Structure 1
């Protein structure tokens, strides 16, 4: 069972959890969504999931959930899925930051969210927990980033980041102007077990642990265990303040130290680091060649290199205080992820 802890001051008493009414997890087949489902079920909640008919439900295993087939582009399927639910946990995402044409990113990440919010307002849900990203936060040259720093790097952001920014901006506007009982979670790079796809960064961790990848960029990243990110979503349902966003990030760690945890654990040789400037030049040259030859949707790009080192240390004290969120050490995350990858031939 999931335990909730909260110290009340002058805050309004959080709503009681109603175990008789279902909650909806949209995007349940993904990394964040599936872990949210898993923890809701463990907490004794009735769970309905919204997935497309083509979705891979391997992450669901034999969990006792009600399946509602639909798509966030279809208002009728959204309304049907949300009807009768107390809360919505929204983790629908098109993560393809490499797309040459950004239209699908806006169609899913922005338009789909708007459709879901409209359906939620029409059915009177009590809480809408939105999985956003650390990419919507501003940069801070003077120290760790917190929720008060407005987005201040638009000229450097790629279409994927701008689509995510638009989504969060619209979400917070719905909270302010339309009464959506929403809370946004700005989630860092997630790692951990049950990474069925796997995610690109999870796949990299798995490859380093196997010894099949021996080089990585000399950069750093804010990280969070996927299980802790999902726990934050459940805590946000009960204790999150409507209209607020919370940074869900744990340890800020260099790739050198991060991958050293993996290679030390599996007995592989330490990776070699590629200087960031060298990686940028290689990506710049590759990008020129791709454009010259008409190639589209390429992973190797200057945008990707920039984003790999763009995010710095993040202050998650708001989530720790208001949500009583307590993430685990990154070493535990890495080792548990590797154990799962090895057991599942990932």
Structure 2
């Protein structure tokens, strides 16, 4: 049986990747830092391993006998005071994993990156041959995703890189589910003026395991979904929840001013704000993703947005996240 080491296994995407790896017959060792995540991992068929991507010694011990690594863990922070910690996790963590994997003669490394490696500085349709500009970005998350990809490409281990866009689906407790909950509670103050490509977490997980099984080493795959403006997204959510939503998007200058104000207040309170200049930029950007390479090579599919939202909302109701 093939032994896989998985990071981020208790997270949104990681849980789905764990399910797919177990279904494929792999023995999955999943990094876990505490007992609560041990239980989640065990329930999904994985074996919890006490290790952390910032702790080289723990990774060295966890890597013994491993055939492949799936790295899905990431720090998605957008608040500047936490940037150093984010860099240690996203860049240093990837470098630590790669070093431990190379020392243990691991045969392959599957790395979950993000469309953010290209950066909001790139406009137009994203394809894998578009030059990445994450290294030029003022947004630390974009820089760290770019730099982590560079580390993976330079490590000398057969790799596959996955670049998902906005991820939706069952199991989301911290990402777009917060927007859905705000709409359900009639607390949405406004809608940003940007757009996104909304991908199904289940299809992303399946594509990752298929890429590994089909040995698509040396490749990178953009994993997008149906394109919609954030106003269209919010309107769809409101319709499914039976809630009223704004009819127009906020003006871009107003959103940026509000984000700067919230950030300056946060420097006084020392508490992360609910919107930062960085997160505002993400939601002001128009993101379009061409997933044709993944469709061709990995049988990847984009779930229609209404169906994807319906599944996400049904799951949120099942765990009492909605009224």
**TM-score by structure 2 length?**
0.90
Q: Give the match's secondary structure for 2:289.
A: coil
Matched, 1:133 2:133: no
Superimposed CA distance per residue, residues 128-177 of structure 1 (whole angstroms, 9 cap, x where no aligned partner): 11000100125554x41111111236554312221221111111122xxx
What is the aligned partner in structure 2 of residue 9 from structure 1? Answer: none
Match of 1:72 among 53, 57, 60: 53
**Stretches of structure 1 lacking an aligned partner (at least 5 in a row):** 1-19
Number of aligned residue pairs: 319
Match of 2:258 among 267, 282, 301: 282
Indicate how the Cα distance of structure 1 residues 61 and 339 shifts in structure 2: closer, same or farther if over 3 A, else same.
farther
Asked whether the 8 Å contact 1:98–1:299 carries over to 2, the reply is no
Correspondences of 1:157-196 after superposition (within 5 Å): 157-174=138-155, 178=156, 180-195=157-172
Asked whether the 8 Å contact 1:132–1:168 carries over to 2, the reply is yes
Superimposed CA distance per residue, residues 100-152 of structure 1 (whole angstroms, 9 cap, x where no aligned partner): 242111111111111111111122223211000100125554x4111111123
Superimposed CA distance per residue, residues 266-311 of structure 1 (whole angstroms, 9 cap, x where no aligned partner): 22223343222221122233334445x4746434222221121225
CA distance in structure 2 between the aligned counterparts of 1:190 and 1:156, rounded to whole angstroms: 22
Match of 2:238 among 259, 263, 268: 263
Q: Give the match's secondary structure for 1:190.
A: strand
Match of 1:224 among 176, 181, 199: 199
CA distance in structure 2 between the aligned counterparts of 1:147 and 1:29, rounded to whole angstroms: 29
Q: Bigger shift: 147-156 or 100-109?
A: 147-156
Matched, 1:116 2:92: no
Indicate how the Cα distance of structure 1 residues 271 and 54 shifts in structure 2: closer, same or farther if over 3 A, else same.
farther
Correspondences of 1:189-204 after superposition (within 5 Å): 189-195=166-172, 198-204=173-179
Asked whether the 8 Å contact 1:75–1:115 carries over to 2, the reply is yes
CA distance in structure 1 between the aligned counterparts of 2:11 and 2:38, rounded to whole angstroms: 9
What is the aligned partner in structure 1 of residue 17 from structure 2? Answer: 36
CA distance in structure 2 between the aligned counterparts of 1:311 and 1:127, rounded to whole angstroms: 34
Asked whether the 8 Å contact 1:99–1:296 carries over to 2, the reply is no
CA distance in structure 1 between the aligned counterparts of 2:175 and 2:80, rounded to whole angstroms: 15
Asked whether the 8 Å contact 2:9–2:18 carries over to 1, the reply is yes
Asked whether the 8 Å contact 2:67–2:107 carries over to 1, the reply is yes
Superimposed CA distance per residue, residues 294-342 of structure 1 (whole angstroms, 9 cap, x where no aligned partner): 7464342222211212252111111111222223222221111101111
What is the aligned partner in structure 1 of residue 132 from structure 2? Answer: 151
Indicate how the Cα distance of structure 1 residues 203 and 254 shifts in structure 2: closer, same or farther if over 3 A, else same.
same
Q: Give the match's secondary structure for 1:29.
A: coil
CA distance in structure 2 between the aligned counterparts of 1:287 and 1:77, rounded to whole angstroms: 36
What is the aligned partner in structure 1 of residue 279 from structure 2? Answer: 304
RMSD: 2.2
Q: Give the match's secondary structure for 1:171.
A: helix
Matched, 1:90 2:71: yes
**Stretches of structure 2 lacking an aligned partner (at least 5 in a row):** none
Asked whether the 8 Å contact 2:193–2:283 carries over to 1, the reply is no
Indicate how the Cα distance of structure 1 residues 328 and 289 shifts in structure 2: closer, same or farther if over 3 A, else same.
closer
Indicate how the Cα distance of structure 1 residues 289 and 75 shifts in structure 2: closer, same or farther if over 3 A, else same.
closer
